[in-house]
Amino acid sequence: MAIPCAPFIASEKLSTASAPSLSPSPVILSQDELKKIAAYKAVEFVESGMVVGLGTGSTAKHAVDRIADLLQQGKLKDVIGIPTSKQTHQQASSLGIPLSDLESHPILDLAIDGADEVDPDLNLVKGRGGSLLREKMIEGAAKKFVVIVDESKWVPHVGASGAMPVEVVPFCSKFTQDSLGKIFEYAGCVAKLRTLCGEEGGEPFVTDNGNYIVNLFFKSDIGDLGAASDAIHRLPGVIEHGMFIGMATAVIVAGELGVTVKTKS
């Protein structure tokens, strides 16, 4: 099946503009088609013999499919995947991608994954799907981390479009939830335990690691992300947060008018 492709691919250094500049195209594409275009572009970074971190989510799924397809065609050889979730492990295994882990391969050549938000400095929010801990461990061990998104994920600041997830231990999770909210009172933070039904009081969502997720919703910019990260990590009961600060090597942004590859200046 042919995959829609923008007629022009632009590569540029990081801009402080609120949204990336996109090349002209008369074709109007669905969000899933945009995700597929970005994912296929990211897989161009994959070379034979690489150890590759395989991301989780609807966008990363396309990248995993593409890697498997290229392996089956013989265009890629000897690629080893390190999955960031049980879901991705199952997908990659079913497609015949050889898999391993960080203990066997502590340094990855490349990681490819999506993001829930990307700010103008290429800082990310990830983990709305619940895999933030494994994603951060694996992508933090990669020499290059390529992020794939559609243009709806571009935001002026972290937390602008929705939840910033924090993985916490189940023990006294309400105490941890309330403590997280107090840290960011200045930003009008509302902290909510993620549930399976999405409703307050429902059964808690449980991560692949057996933990809970507290979603933080901000009414305003939280400011210094490094300071925010430190404050969260100092709180007992917190495992990890969904801010991926300074980790992205490149961000591939697909929009209806084309694709832009953003890199740090």
- The secondary structure of 212-262 as a DSSP string is EEEEEE-SS----HHHHHHHHHTSTTEEEESEE-S--SEEEEEETTEEEEE
Q: What is the dihedral of CA 35, 38, 40, 46, to 10 degrees?
A: -130
Which amino acid is it at 259? V
Catalytic residue among 33, 135, 151, 167: 135
Q: How far apart are CA 231 and CA 181, in angstroms?
A: 12
Of 42, 69, 219, which Cα lies nearest the Cα of 147?
42
**185 counts as catalytic:** no
Residues 6+ apart with CB under 8 A from 165: 125, 127, 128, 130, 132, 194, 213, 214, 215, 216, 241, 242
133-149 burial: b if 16+ Cβ within 10 Å, else e: bbbbebbebbebbbbbb
Residue 249: both structure tokens together: 């090597």
Q: Which residues contact 138 (CB under 8 A, 6 or more apart)?
A: 53, 82, 84, 102, 108, 111
Give the catalytic positions in this structure. Answer: 135
